[in-house]
Amino acid sequence: MTECSAVSESMPLLLTESLDAARREVTHQHIESCGICSDEWNAYKETWAVMADLPEVAVPARVKAQFLERAGLAPVETELPKNVVPFHKRTAFKWIAQAAAVALLVGGGYFVGDRQKPDFVTPATATLATGNDSIRPISTSLAETRVLDADALSPVIEGRPNISNIQFVDADAADEKIAVSFDVTSHWTVNGNPRDKSMVRLLSYMLENEAEMTPRSNTLEWVRQTYSDPQYADPEIANALAKVLRNDSHEGVRIRAVDTLTTLPPTVGLQARDALIEALKSDPNPAVRIKAVEALANMARNGETLDPMMVDTLRQKASQDDENLYVRVKAAEALSNIKP
């Protein structure tokens, strides 16, 4: 090994100050006396400095909340302002409160179980209602899991019921049915064909309203798997995805929405294309714009017709000086692939 190559191999160690004093001295002396190694050393230092351009990213607050929840720890209590008097539990009341809670549960359970009315869910602020009165009445009691066919569910979801703990099940791939289970005031499972309007609306609602990012992402994945099949093509699903792309606060979810839109069958392609163009025009995150322009470039490459508005947007993006360079290159590529 020549002295230069030995010195070159020591340069990363020199940068991280991992060389012992004697070797550091020898290496520096060689660098000062050798033009090639001096240039090499400057390049190392510059590369090391350029790497500092990668900023630290803040951890989203939800990660800590989720971790503490999984660890069985309550979120950290904040210190009360000095002008707030803390309320201390009185031990004697604890037993009275527990007795009252038991009485309420027993009485409430009996009352609810005794009614035998048609199925409905009434959360505090909204209603997820069944479609008609002729459905099979299901006895209800507290903490019961209820199973319902999608056609028994009103296709209109009123208000904003708080749906959580969503899970998707396809127990039998051959039976053309899927199932969605979730919690409203109790645990529900809705079975139905992906073509059922009620199922479409329920999934659309979940896409747009689920508060947590991971279930939204999972719903997108489920929708991608199910509705990429041409037999289930539904413009309402395309519209719901377009809304996610337009409104979701998490760029990862918006990116996944682009991915899902691009897999939809051509029969609902118009809604998908409009949403992609809108994202390319106005999404604040370049990563989402990149995804959108890549999708449009692929469409152009595959010979799909792009309308004049889309072509205008691509032209505008290709020549927009302050746009991300990759978006500009991809927009130009899409334009060059458009068939006359």
Residues that bind other proteins (CB under 8 A): 9, 11-13, 15-16, 18, 42-44, 46-51, 53-60, 62-64, 66-68, 70-73, 76, 213-214, 217, 251-252, 255, 284-288, 290-291, 322, 324-326, 329-330, 332-333
Smallest distance, other proteins to C-beta of residue 65, A: 10
Chain Cα centroid distance, residue 313: 26
C-beta of 122 vs 336, nearer to other proteins: 336
Indicate the helix (H) or strand (E) that contains 159.
none
Smallest distance, other proteins to C-beta of residue 30, A: 17
Which amino acid, residue 283? D
What DSSP line would sit under 8-58, residue for residue? Answer: HHHHHHHHTT-S-HHHHHHHHHHHHH-HHHHHHHHHHHHHHHHGGGS---P
Cα distance between residue 164 and residue 185, in whole Å: 10
Cα distance between residue 150 and residue 135, in whole Å: 11
What DSSP line would sit under 40-106, residue for residue? Answer: HHHHHHHHHHHGGGS---PPPHHHHHHHHHHTT-PPPPPPPPTTSPPPPPPHHHHHHHHHHHHHHHH
Cα distance between residue 245 and residue 251, in whole Å: 9
C-beta of 17 vs 133, nearer to other proteins: 17
Smallest distance, other proteins to C-beta of residue 213, A: 8
Smallest distance, other proteins to C-beta of residue 96, A: 30
C-beta of 73 vs 92, nearer to other proteins: 73
C-beta of 67 vs 110, nearer to other proteins: 67
C-beta of 112 vs 213, nearer to other proteins: 213
Smallest distance, other proteins to C-beta of residue 54, A: 5
Smallest distance, other proteins to C-beta of residue 207, A: 17
Smallest distance, other proteins to C-beta of residue 20, A: 13
Which amino acid, residue 18? S
Cα distance between residue 261 and residue 255, in whole Å: 10
C-beta of 4 vs 138, nearer to other proteins: 4
Tell which residue, 14, 74, 79, has the closest CA to residue 41.
Answer: 14
Cα distance between residue 315 and residue 338, in whole Å: 12
C-beta of 64 vs 117, nearer to other proteins: 64
C-beta of 143 vs 325, nearer to other proteins: 325
Q: Are 202 and 190 in contact (CB under 8 A)?
A: yes
